[in-house]
Amino acid sequence: MGLTATEPDLRDAEGEPILLNHKTNHTNIQKESNVMSDKIFIFDTTLRDAEQTPGAALNLEEKLEIAKHLAKLNVDIIEAGFPVSSPGDFDAVERIANEVEGPEICALSRVVEKDITIAWRAIKDALKPRIHTFVGTSPIHRGGITRTSREETLKMAIDAVAYAKSLCAGHPNATVEFSPMDAARTEPSYLHEVVEATIDAGATVINIPDTVGYAMPSEFGQLIADIFANVPNIDKAIISVHCHNDLGMAVANSIAAIKNGARQVECTVNGLGERAGNTSLEEIVMVIRTRQDHFKGVHTGINIKEIIPISRRVSRTMGIPVQPNKAIVGANAFAHSSGIHQDGVIKQRDTFEIIAPEDVGLKESLIVLSPRSGRNALKHRLAALGYEMTPEQLDKIYERFLAVADKKKAVHDADLEAIMRDEVRSIPEVFHFEYIQVVSGTKISPTTTVGVRTEAGVIEEASTGDGPVDAAYKAIDRIAKIPLTLTDYQIRSVTEGKDAIGEVTIKVQDNGHSIIGHGASTDIIEASAKAYIDAINKVVHLRYE
């Protein structure tokens, strides 16, 4: 797996880094308009690093399910696990190696012969197996974990890579990857020495981890550039990066690394992982795709229409919700609540969206109807639901919509359906509901006061009853003077949550006619009164049509 590079820190006329033009022996290098296009290999470690997220343990079948979906996503490498860590992890890695086709299947190991042997045993039957071995190289890790000198640590790394390479010798597609753990805090000259020596020992991928998420983008980019400038045999390996998000810099550091020559990014779905997580797969992929003006031909092979589906699968399987404002895959990533934003997106999508939701597997953007929404957003959504109305009707519906929206965080399609059934009627309103007040409790008689608008103005009546609904109906009878026989009363929630709209449907009898009335509100007593008044209006219409 060879790699060639130009000088790593060249700049263009505007001071921007010139992207390196690496040539690998992978078959997916593409030529477009006679320009060599650099591929970024996506190394997914959701099944290894992301599974280390507290509470995210997966069983074997769940790991296999995710691995198969990762293959559908078209990642280049799946780090399936750490086989020496447990028999269950070994079994999962072995199953994935045997059953998942497409990506390379990678097993992690320390620089310990037993680890490497077990890792190889787990992946040896894969079409494209990879051993990934690592050791801490920073002064902190050498002193606090391995308790070894620089020389001893270097020998451990060389021996481990050489042993892994010997195991892979008989397999035509096997790869050895080496990581100097905590590279971002390793002495630069020593890091260069380790990288050169492990490439000589047989590693064809060298991963540079920012293990604790300590680096800043400018210094991490320079770290990668310096490796290219100071490691003589760097053309024999692909440089990878594995960045953690402790300071929120994982994606930014990975981008800086790409700009300075890295051609593999290790990442996880939804950015899950140890502590604050890892580089987010969906973010790094969509940054590269969306900002081609910045990356000038760099690309991935990811099937981006599977981004939302794999995000939801991982979230569901691991039991870890995606934060609503998470880039690309969060519930709000393609949601618009502001009236100005909604109007802009309706008229021209790219006014407020830089990615088409369909590209990443969503059906459409979400217009979140709220008190901040304008008439245009309401009209657009109602049209999508199949409703056409006059400007006068829209004004009336908009007033009702705002009243509902003030009571709820968001107004959903089911809310709109209920409002339309309640407001858009085919008969004139002789009686129009205005307001209702209820006094009720366990030791007092329920009393309901109802205000109804008629041709004579608003009439108010109050009554007691067996409950607040019965009291409301008696008060309405006093106003309308059209007593009806109630034969059926049903309540259903048309939306979810504590602030759901409730719809009341009643049936009344009038001279042998069965009349149905509907009413809807977040207040079920109000909905009941509206349903009764709706029925009365229909009775009046039948009597005098």
Taking every pair of C-alpha atoms in the chain, what is the biggest distance, in angstroms? 102
Sign of CA dihedral 347, 351, 357, 360: positive
Residue 13 has pLDDT above 60, yes or no: no
**CATH topology for the 30-318 domain:** TIM Barrel (3.20.20)
Cα–Cα distance, 329 to 156 (Å, whole number): 41
Cβ neighbours of residue 261 closer than 8 Å, sequence gap 6 or more? 5, 8, 20, 22, 224, 225, 228, 239
Between 125 and 333, name the one with better pLDDT: 125
Residue 367 has pLDDT above 80, yes or no: no
**pLDDT, mean over the chain:** 87
**CATH topology for the 432-544 domain:** Double Stranded RNA Binding Domain (3.30.160)
Instruction: Please name which of 433, 424, 540 lies closest in space to residue 476, comparing C-alpha atoms.
Output: 433
The b/e string for 356-366 (b: 16+ C-beta within 10 A; e otherwise) is ebeebbbeebb
Among the ranges given (296-310, 368-382, 448-462), the one the predictor scored with the smallest mean pLDDT: 368-382
Q: What is the pLDDT of residue 353?
A: 83
Label residue 502 by pLDDT band (50, 70, 90).
confident
Q: What is the pLDDT of residue 378?
A: 86
> Residue 512: left if φ>0, alpha if ψ -120 to 50, beta else—which one?
left
CA distances from 129 to 56, 100, 105, 166, 366 (A): 25, 11, 5, 14, 42
Between 385 and 214, name the one with better pLDDT: 214
Domain spans in the chain, listed from the N-terminal domain onward: 30-318, 335-423, 432-544
Label residue 436 by pLDDT band (50, 70, 90).
very high
What mean pLDDT do residues 220-236 have?
Answer: 97
Q: Please give the share of the chain, as a percent, with pLDDT higher than 70.
A: 89
- Backbone phi, then psi, for 194, in 5-degree steps? -65, -45
Residue 94 has pLDDT above 50, yes or no: yes
Count of Cβ atoms closer than 10 Å to residue 512 Cβ = 5
What mean pLDDT do residues 238-243 have?
Answer: 98
What mean pLDDT do residues 425-445 have?
Answer: 86
Q: What is the pLDDT of residue 237?
A: 97
Pairing type for strands 238-243 and 205-210 reads parallel
> Tokens 């309540």 map to which residue?
491
Q: Two tokens at 149?
A: 């000198």
Residue 390 has pLDDT above 50, yes or no: yes
Label residue 509 by pLDDT band (50, 70, 90).
confident
Cα–Cα distance, 113 to 116 (Å, whole number): 5
DSSP class of 511: T
Between 10 and 371, name the one with better pLDDT: 371
Q: What is the pLDDT of residue 421?
A: 67
Q: What is the pLDDT of residue 12?
A: 40
Residue 169 has pLDDT above 70, yes or no: yes
Q: What is the pLDDT of residue 427?
A: 66
pLDDT in tens, 282-328: 999 999 999 999 998 899 999 999 999 999 999 999 999 999 899 99
Cα–Cα distance, 64 to 122 (Å, whole number): 14
HSE value, Cβ hemisphere, 13 Å, CA-based, for 253? 30
Pairing type for strands 447-454 and 457-464 reads antiparallel
What mean pLDDT do residues 1-19 have?
Answer: 37
Residue 543 has pLDDT above 90, yes or no: no
Q: What is the pLDDT of residue 84?
A: 96
Among the ranges given (70-84, 455-469, 481-495), the one the predictor scored with the smallest mean pLDDT: 481-495
What mean pLDDT do residues 446-466 have?
Answer: 94
Label residue 522 by pLDDT band (50, 70, 90).
confident
Residue 60 has pLDDT above 90, yes or no: yes
What mean pLDDT do residues 450-461 have?
Answer: 95
What mean pLDDT do residues 401-421 have?
Answer: 76
Label residue 362 by pLDDT band (50, 70, 90).
confident
Cα–Cα distance, 433 to 224 (Å, whole number): 71
Instruction: Please name which of 45, 56, 108, 109 lies closest in space to residue 78, comparing C-alpha atoms.
Output: 45
Instruction: Please name which of 353, 354, 308, 351 lies closest in space to residue 330, comparing C-alpha atoms.
Output: 308
- Give the burial class of 513: count Cβ atoms within 10 A of its Cβ; 0-12 exposed, 13-18 middle, 19 or more buried: exposed
Among the ranges given (266-275, 334-343, 484-493), the one the predictor scored with the smallest mean pLDDT: 334-343
Cα–Cα distance, 373 to 384 (Å, whole number): 16
What mean pLDDT do residues 347-375 have?
Answer: 81
Cβ neighbours of residue 262 closer than 8 Å, sequence gap 6 or more? 208, 224, 239, 240, 241, 254
Alpha-helix residue ranges (DSSP H) falling in 108-232: 113-123, 139-141, 150-168, 188-201, 217-230
pLDDT in tens, 141-161: 999 999 999 999 999 999 999
Cα–Cα distance, 207 to 265 (Å, whole number): 9
Pairing type for strands 129-136 and 175-181 reads parallel
Alpha-helix residue ranges (DSSP H) falling in 173-249: 188-201, 217-230
Cα–Cα distance, 115 to 415 (Å, whole number): 58
Q: Two tokens at 382?
A: 């109602």
Label residue 414 by pLDDT band (50, 70, 90).
low
Between 485 and 53, name the one with better pLDDT: 485
Q: What is the pLDDT of residue 26?
A: 35
What mean pLDDT do residues 441-447 have?
Answer: 88
Residue 524 has pLDDT above 60, yes or no: yes
Count of Cβ atoms closer than 10 Å to residue 177 Cβ = 28
CA 83 distance to own-chain centroid = 29
Cα–Cα distance, 449 to 476 (Å, whole number): 9
